[in-house]
């Protein structure tokens, strides 16, 4: 293979700056989407375990809609189709006056998708904690809200740390789809370096290495968190 | 016969055989050798760049660039005196183009690739087969005439293209404060303009006429302004392969000289309403190097 290797292109101006700014956007999109995903996902997850059938139905509908449409399609629908369905002025505002429209829509879209995944983990966590815990809590005179706040959710989060870590790594990697609506994150920047210099192998090797290092770092940190947060006498503690 | 005479004869014979052998082998190396050995030429092409390269109704690639590359394949077949040459097509894009060419998956790339010096560090180009440049694709009722009218407006260009580079450079140089939207591909650049998300899309002039030709309401769009860049399109080949490059350039020169090139031009560019300009004709006629 007569490939003209040139690793130094990765450190040349302006390509190094591009990759770093791409990394910055990747981190911003992932972090912002994760905040939405974790907050909304917890609410939906709780709704799916509530006694009220209406709350359960809303939760289930949300999860089924967002889980069953490919993320790429969702991002496209949010960015290109939603503004056309809204009243003219509102659509125009979304397209023109919304600050950083590509970034904002990517974060919202990725956040809503992540919420449905988080919701399933939270629901599983609450179910694992067990009906018994909830009944015992109610019997001692706690309200339903207090049972969730003091018993079920603290247990559920701790039990699902490994699964939630996995979801966070997914957000981080899924954020590369934001390039399809024009967010110049890491993958988009790697593509640009490849297109301008024709050193595609180096550019994508660098992007892969950056993604992998950050994933390893997150996994490592979360394992420490998991060890500190584990509860004696629960299923999760038994696995160590 | 003495012993030395036998040895001398053997050496002479061996040397003769050696020169004979190398004489027949020296003719082919690089892409031509690969094509001869495999009996196959593999043409890499774009799939979304009409009228240069796109898929036809029967699923086979067609277009201006494809026609030219088919001529090159035919010339390779004649040069190698092959009875049968299989032509295979392989779709490539901006990211896969270089690795697939360099690792031998494709032998030449026929698309809308601009020949640049920085790309020449990795690949080689045949002589120019088309010349275009950046202009602005706008809605007719926008009143935009030149890039200066875009002060503070939103303009899209595709990620990683020379168009995006030119737009960013002009934006800085002319201090226009344009908000740049880096679209993924031409259909997205078009939909962004169509839905008023952007005020203009910037790409190669000839591509813009192609986009308008496919629109639902072509009379609402216009290509405006002066040429903002110089983009010579060329077929991409592997580096350090002058025999294959020479063969390709000879095909181009023959096409320009015989006037066959004008037929190919008219066949494809009439589909987007682009008559042949005297300037382009002159540029091409300057490349019909004599035999």
Question: What Å distances lie between residue B260 and B68, B251, B256, B272, CA to CA?
Answer: 10, 11, 7, 20
Query: What does the pLDDT read at residue B7?
Result: 61
> CATH 1.10.3720.10: does it fit domain A7-238?
yes
| B115 and B138 fall within a common domain | no
Q: How does pLDDT run across B22-73, given as a tens digit for each residue?
A: 445 457 899 999 999 999 999 999 887 889 998 988 889 999 999 999 999 9
Residue A215 has pLDDT above 90, yes or no: yes
| Residue B5 lies inside a defined structural domain of this protein | no
B154 and A198 in contact by Cβ < 8 A?
no
Query: What does the pLDDT read at residue B9?
Result: 60
* In chain A, where the domains are located: 7-238
Residue A219 has pLDDT above 60, yes or no: yes
Domain extent at residue B216: 134-224
What is the share, in percent, of chain A residues with pLDDT greater than 90?
A: 76
Closest approach of chain B CAs to the CA of A88, in angstroms? 11
Total domain count for chain B?
Answer: 2
What is the share, in percent, of chain B residues with pLDDT greater than 70?
A: 91
| B176 and B93 fall within a common domain | no
d(CA A181, CA A212): 24
| Residue B123 lies inside a defined structural domain of this protein | yes
| Residue A172 neighbours by CB under 8 Å, 6+ apart | A26, A30, A211, A214, A215, A218
Q: Which residues of A touch B98 (CB under 8 A)?
A: 194, 198-200
Mean pLDDT of chain A: 91
| B116 and B158 fall within a common domain | no
Higher-pLDDT residue of B284, B14: B284
d(CA B178, CA B191): 19
| B248 and B275 fall within a common domain | yes
pLDDT, average across residues B239-262: 95
| Residue B155 neighbours by CB under 8 Å, 6+ apart | B136, B167, B178, B179, B180, B181, B198, B199, B200, B201, B202
A2 and B154 in contact by Cβ < 8 A?
no
pLDDT, average across residues A153-174: 93
Closest approach of chain B CAs to the CA of A215, in angstroms? 24
Closest approach of chain A CAs to the CA of B110, in angstroms? 16
Residues of A with CB under 8 A from a CB of B: 1-4, 6, 80, 83-84, 92, 95-96, 101-102, 179-182, 184, 188, 191-192, 194-201, 204
Task: Provide the whole-model pTM.
Answer: 0.79
Among all residues of chain A, which has the CA nearest to that of B152? Answer: A96
| B93 and B138 fall within a common domain | no
Query: What does the pLDDT read at residue B23?
Result: 47
Among all residues of chain A, which has the CA nearest to that of B190? Answer: A80
Q: Which residues of B touch A180 (CB under 8 A)?
A: 184, 188
d(CA A12, CA A202): 12
Q: Which residues of A touch B99 (CB under 8 A)?
A: 3, 200-201
d(CA B202, CA A79): 20
pLDDT, average across residues B136-155: 95
pLDDT, average across residues A7-21: 92
| B94 and B149 fall within a common domain | no
Read off the CATH number of the domain in which B183 is found.
3.40.190.10
């Amino acid at each position: 293979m007569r490939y003209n290797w040139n690793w130094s292109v990765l450190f040349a101006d302006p390509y190094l700056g591009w990759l770093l700014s791409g990394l910055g956007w990747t981190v911003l999109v992932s972090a912002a989407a994760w905040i939405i995903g974790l907050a909304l996902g917890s609410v939906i997850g709780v709704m799916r375990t509530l006694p009220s059938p209406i709350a359960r139905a809303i939760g289930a509908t949300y999860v089924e809609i967002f889980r069953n449409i490919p993320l790429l399609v969702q991002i496209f629908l949010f960015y290109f189709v939603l503004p056309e369905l809204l009243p003219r002025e509102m659509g125009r505002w979304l397209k023109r006056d919304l600050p950083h429209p590509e970034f904002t829509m990517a974060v919202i879209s990725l956040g809503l998708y992540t919420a449905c995944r988080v919701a399933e983990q939270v629901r599983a966590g609450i179910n694992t904690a067990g009906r018994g815990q909830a009944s015992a809590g109610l019997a001692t005179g706690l309200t339903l809200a207090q049972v969730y706040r003091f018993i079920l959710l603290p247990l559920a989060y701790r039990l699902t740390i490994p699964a939630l870590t996995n979801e966070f790594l997914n957000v981080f990697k899924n954020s590369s789809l934001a390039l399809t609506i024009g967010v110049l994150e890491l993958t988009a920047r790697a593509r640009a370096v490849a297109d301008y210099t024709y050193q595609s192998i180096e550019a994508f090797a660098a992007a892969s290495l950056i993604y992998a290092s950050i994933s390893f770092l997150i996994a490592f940190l979360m394992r420490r968190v998991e060890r500190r947060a584990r509860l004696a006498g629960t299923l999760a503690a038994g696995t160590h | 016969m003495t012993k030395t005479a036998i040895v001398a004869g053997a050496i002479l014979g061996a040397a003769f055989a050696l020169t004979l052998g190398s004489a027949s082998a020296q003719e082919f190396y690089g892409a031509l050798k690969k094509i001869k050995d495999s009996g196959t030429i593999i043409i890499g092409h774009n799939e979304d760049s009409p009228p240069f390269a796109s898929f036809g109704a029967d699923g086979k690639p067609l277009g201006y660039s494809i026609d030219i590359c088919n001529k090159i394949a035919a010339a390779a077949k004649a040069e190698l005196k092959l009875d049968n040459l299989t032509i295979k097509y392989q779709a490539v894009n901006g990211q896969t183009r270089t690795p697939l060419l360099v690792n031998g998956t494709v032998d030449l790339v026929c698309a809308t690739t601009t020949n640049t010096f920085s790309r020449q560090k990795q690949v080689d180009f045949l002589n120019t087969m088309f010349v275009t440049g950046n202009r602005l694709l706008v809605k007719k009722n926008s009143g935009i005439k030149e890039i200066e009218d875009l002060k503070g407006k939103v303009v899209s260009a595709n990620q990683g293209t020379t168009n995006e580079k030119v737009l960013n450079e002009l934006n800085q140089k002319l201090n226009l404060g344009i908000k740049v939207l880096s679209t993924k591909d031409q259909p997205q650049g078009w939909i962004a303009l169509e839905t008023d998300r952007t005020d203009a899309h910037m790409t190669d002039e000839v591509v813009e006429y192609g986009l308008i030709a496919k629109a639902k309401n072509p009379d609402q769009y216009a290509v405006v302004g002066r040429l903002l860049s110089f983009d010579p399109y060329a077929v991409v080949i592997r580096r350090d392969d002058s025999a294959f490059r020479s063969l390709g350039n000879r095909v181009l020169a023959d096409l320009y000289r015989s006037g066959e090139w004008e037929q190919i031009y008219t066949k494809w560019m009439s589909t987007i309403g682009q008559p042949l300009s005297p300037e382009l004709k002159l540029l091409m006629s300057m490349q019909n190097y004599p035999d």
